[in-house]
Every structure is written in C-alpha cells, then in structure tokens.
Amino acid sequence: MMGAMTTLLAALLDGALDDPEAIRVGDVAMTGPELLGAAAVVADQIVERPDEGPVAVLAEPTAQTVVAMVGALLAGVPVVPVPPDTGPGERGHVLTDSGASLWIGERPPEVTLPVRKVDLRQRSGDQTREAPNDGPALILYTSGTTGAPKGVLLSRAAMAAGLDGLADAWDWTADDTLAHGLPLFHVHGLGLGVFGALRIGSRLVHVGRPKPELYAAAVRDHGATLLFGVPTIWSRIAADPDSAGALRPARLLVSGSAPLPVPVFERVRELTGQAPVERYGMSETMITLSVRADGERRPGWVGQPVAGVSTRIVSTDEENEGELLPHDGETIGELQLQGPGLFTGYLGRPEATAATWTDDGWFRTGDAAVIDAGGYHRIVGRRSVDLIKTGGYRVGAGEIETALLEHVGISEAAVVGEPDDDLGQRIVAHVVVSGDPIDPDEVIAFVADRLSAHKRPREVRVVDALPRNAMGKVQKARL
C-alpha cells in the first residue's frame, strides 16, 4: 500500500512507467515521462491564465484527455470532466455551476470559454510537481435524477485513500496491466481506470470502445491482467465465447457501477475460468466495498469494506428511524459509511451536503443493503426506487430482477414500485424479451415459484429496451 505518499499521481511523478507501452489509449502509446512532459505543457498554459478557476476537459477516450487532466492536476486546479455526448443545456449548467474558466479539447459552438488544445508532440522541461493533496482534484457531476446535476468535490487525498484501499483488496501492483474501455468522466473509468494506474504504477491500456474483441486484444496483445467493465460490457463478453475465452490469462475481472445479473456472472465464470469480482462505490465515496482478490465471489454480493472504511445499516422507518439493524444477510436498511475516501461536499450546495450526513458523522448513501454475519454486503438498490413497500413488506427490486433474468425468454429486467391504493405500492416489472413473446401471467407465476408470493410482480410490461445512462445503470425514474 502507498498510504504514506502525499500525491495522487505517486508512481508517475516518481519516474515509474518508463516502458514505451506504459500508457496506451486507443492507438497512442507513451511512457510515463512522455505523459508528464506533455502534461507539463498544459500545466504551463493553465497557470499563465489570470483566472485560476477549474478547467473543463472534454472527456473523450483519447490520450489528449489523459494529458489534459494530468496537466490540470500538475497546475493545482480542479478538473471538470465533461461527457462528450452531453447536450448544450446540461453542458451549460455544468460549466456555469463549476465556474470553469478554461476549456480543453474540441470546443462546441455554444461554449464561449477560452480554449486550449493538447499537442502530444510538445514537451516542457519544467516538470511541475503536483499540488498538495488537500485540494479538490475532480468536480464530478451527478446524473441529475433528483434535480439539476450537482458537482461532487473529490480531493486528491480522498482519491488516493480509495485507490490504496483497492490496491490492498485486489493485490493491484506495478506488475499489473490494467485494461478497460470505460468513459473518462466517471469515478470508475477515470478515478480508478486512469489515476489508479498513475498512482500504483501499473501499465494502462484504454481500448477506446468497450467491445469484447478489444478486451480480448488487450489481454492477447498487451498482457492485460486486470480488466474493468460495467455489466453491459460483461454481458456482451458473455455472449461472445471467443472473446471471453481470450480473457483466461487475466488475473482479475472487475465489474461495477451497476448490479451484475447472475446469469451473466455464471456465464463469464464458465467462459473465462474465473468469477468476476464485484465492488460498490459512488462519485461521493470512491470505492468502499469490494470482494478481495482472494475472497469468496458470490453473485450479487459486493464484498467487504476496503481498508479504512466502516459500514452500518440503519432503519428508515418513521417509528424507529436510525436504529441499527442486524447483520443477518436478510434485514434491509440504508447503507451508511465512514472512511477517508469520501467527498468534500457538493460545490456551492451546503444544505445538500449537510443532508448527506447523520448527526453522528456517517455518510448516508441513499442505497438499501443487507450485511451478513461475515461482513459481506449485498446492495438492494436505491432507497427511492429499489426499496418497495408493498402490503406491509419491504421488498428489494434487485431480488425480483434476478429471478426474472432466470426466465429463458427475458434478457433484461427492471422492477419498480408504483402507487397502489390497497398495497401502498404494487410491484411492476419491465422486461425485454429475447425470443418468442411471453405470457405476463406465466412470468408472474415463474417469480412466485422462486420467491415469496408477496415478492411477485403484480404487472409485467414488455419494452423494447430499458433506459440506461452511460455507465449502464437503468434509469428507473424514466420508467
């Protein structure tokens, strides 16, 4: 572990990653010193500005993006990663709310900020050192499902602590080669998938687009040992036996950002010879829970707290709100946690920040979970949409979704609770059919045969596709 180091980009700044293939993004490869020299040019341009506000980076999956973000950290200013597919309205909100004073990358027509582009051929002899790690490194914007997107302030110290916890849990070292095709505007693809490699010193291969054959090529051609993916990627890999078989030499397959369906988990294990490692985190917390590299891998369970993190589950019922709940593997409560990897707050939102903390100093995740006697956690889902109160019972949507996905005719499923005069909420399943038409009544009976009767859907709706965000999470509010 590297807890004693005071910088986020520890390995990069210590001169590691000197292999010609140390950092590969798409077709571009560079050494750590080459990345640092190009990033120092960006840092020089940033510090020359009269305005020292945050820097907005067009977060395309390119080497220029990585150089720009490292350059901003060298200059000591926060990075605002802007998704390439963000519409003008949301992009305008992000830029205004963050106070961004410079745009790096191809500038959309409506953006009026000063712009800089990254030239990978330029180098600066001034190897600027990274700013102290007590300031914000990233301003990540939430998905905005409960209002306008909020800017999450993640400090260098928090990111470093989270990464060190994962290095410990996954035996992640400089001997690894990390490969993934994740977006560079989320904690998963950027915080873990770029800054993790630059802190720990493992080689990095960003495959550009998350295609099974590109993951296979990363293992075959670049010796990737550690692979990151979201469930959508693992589902595609599970449907491509040749690509999946090529992953057998890899050491660790990591899935996160959304629950991994049990059939996909089992198929990946069958084709690759190893079960995926699941983990849990948020923009506000880095990764707080994970199955360890040498730990038991159970479908649907996201393991134990990483080093430095403490967790608890509490009741959200009005009559006993905040009461600690037992770790029996069945009782559902709100997951709350403490640890060094937590965010500083929401930018300019003191009331929203305060609302996420309990009076005794625990962060409210807003997620419903169970914890078993061995400290393993299973995330039921968001309290607001995945914890359904029906007929006096508390039911987790994820358990029903898992049962639905066991049906041979269903390829995707999302369960929500809708208002019901009799039950309080009735369970409604939205399903994507993979073959012949299905009989909704038969599907309801199918679930009732596998779970308690009160957990069966009262209605099954067939849809062409489930609405998902860029990380593959189903956007249940749209259902």
User: Is the four-CA dihedral 32, 37, 39, 40 of positive or negative sign?
Assistant: positive
Q: Where does the pLDDT of residue 1 fall: very low under 50, low under 70, confident under 90, or very high at 90 and above?
A: very low
The tens digit of pLDDT for each residue in 130-139 reads: 766 567 899 9
- What angle, rounded to 10 degrees, do the helices at 231-238 and 212-222 form? 80
Mean pLDDT of 343-358: 94
- Does residue 125 have a pLDDT over 70? no
Q: Is the pLDDT of residue 146 over 80?
A: no
Higher-confidence position of 403 and 296: 296
Of the pLDDT bands very low, low, confident and very high (cuts 50, 70, 90), residue 399 is confident
Q: Nearest-CA neighbor of 215 among 237, 190, 183, 231?
A: 237
**Alpha carbon distance 199, 288 (integer Å):** 18
- Spelled out in words, what is the top-level CATH class assigned to the domain 10-155? alpha beta
- Predicted local confidence at residue 4, as pLDDT: 39
* Rounded mean pLDDT, 109-122: 89
Pick 128 or 346 by higher pLDDT. Answer: 346
In this prediction, residue 382 carries a pLDDT of: 73
Domain ranges of the chain: 10-155, 280-383, 391-478
What confidence tens digit (pLDDT) does each residue in 245-283 have?
A: 999 999 999 998 878 888 889 999 999 999 999 999 999
> What is the distance between the alpha carbons of residues 345 and 177, in angstroms, rounded to a whole number?
33
pLDDT tier at 212, thresholds 50, 70, 90:
very high
Name the architecture of domain 391-478. 2-Layer Sandwich (3.30)
Q: What is the pLDDT of residue 266?
A: 94
Average pLDDT over residues 185-191: 90
Mean pLDDT, residues 408-414 taken together: 87
The residue-averaged pLDDT of 324-339 equals 93
Confidence of residue 90 (pLDDT cuts 50, 70, 90): confident
Asked whether the predicted pLDDT for residue 205 surpasses 70, the reply is yes
The CATH number of domain 280-383, selected from 2.30.38.10, 1.10.3720.10, 3.40.50.1980, 3.40.120.10: 2.30.38.10
What pLDDT, on the 0 to 100 scale, is given for residue 71?
92
Q: How many CB atoms lie within 10 A of CB 160?
A: 25
Contact by Cβ (8 Å): 135, 76: yes
Reported as a single tens digit per residue, the pLDDT across 148-173 is 789 999 999 999 999 999 999 999 99
pLDDT for position 48: 79
Mean pLDDT across the chain, nearest whole number? 88
Tell me, what's the pLDDT at 216? 97
Q: What is the mean pLDDT of residues 108-130?
A: 82
What Cα–Cα distance (Å) separates residue 463 from each residue in 348, 430, 438?
A: 39, 6, 12
Q: Give me the pLDDT at residue 52, please.
A: 75
Tens of pLDDT, residues 377-391: 998 877 666 777 776
Average pLDDT in the 400-411 region?
86
Spatial distance between the Cα atoms of 11 and 172, rounded to a whole number of angstroms: 13
DSSP-assigned letters across all residues of 228-241: EE-HHHHHHHHT-H
Cβ–Cβ < 8 Å for 157, 139: no
3-state helix, strand, coil in the chain (%, to 5): 30, 25, 45
Nearest Cα residue to 56 out of 19, 90, 21: 90
For 199, the token pair is 């802190």
> What is the rounded CA–CA span in Å between residue 95 and residue 318?
39
Confidence of residue 127 (pLDDT cuts 50, 70, 90): low
pLDDT, average across residues 87-101: 89
Q: Give the burial string for 316-346 (b: 16+ CB within 10 Å, else e).
A: beeeeeeeebebeeeebbbbbbbbbbbbbbb
pTM of the model: 0.82
pLDDT per position as a tens digit, 71-84: 999 988 999 999 88
